[in-house]
Structure 1
Amino acid sequence: MHPNQITEWKPQLSERTAGDVFGKPSASEPEEGLKVLHAKIGQLTLENIF
């Protein structure tokens, strides 16, 4: 990495919030994704039992 890149990125990083930097999902996304994950966990649990 070039030092000039770091110098340019540092102010951009300090201006953004943690959600912008780490790609914080919207409010509706977790509920839908969570339902899918719970269904998959249930399916895998049943497969392991039989």
Structure 2
Amino acid sequence: MSAVALALLIAAPATVLADNWSMIGIAIVVSEIIVLAGGLTWLALLILAPKR
């Protein structure tokens, strides 16, 4: 499931960038990058957190 979400997060900005450089497109790309960074940070914290 996470692999599908990751693929969408990577593919969506690429399609927007290829389509147009409107303010909406740029806003979508910026929000996607923020979400991607947050998701990768959360994943890293899950992996690095000590197991109980």
TM-score computed with the length of structure 1 as normaliser: 0.41
**Higher normalized contact order (CA 8 Å, seq sep 6+, divided by chain length):** 2
Structure with the bigger percentage of helix: 2
TM-score computed with the length of structure 2 as normaliser: 0.40
Which protein shows a greater Rg? 1
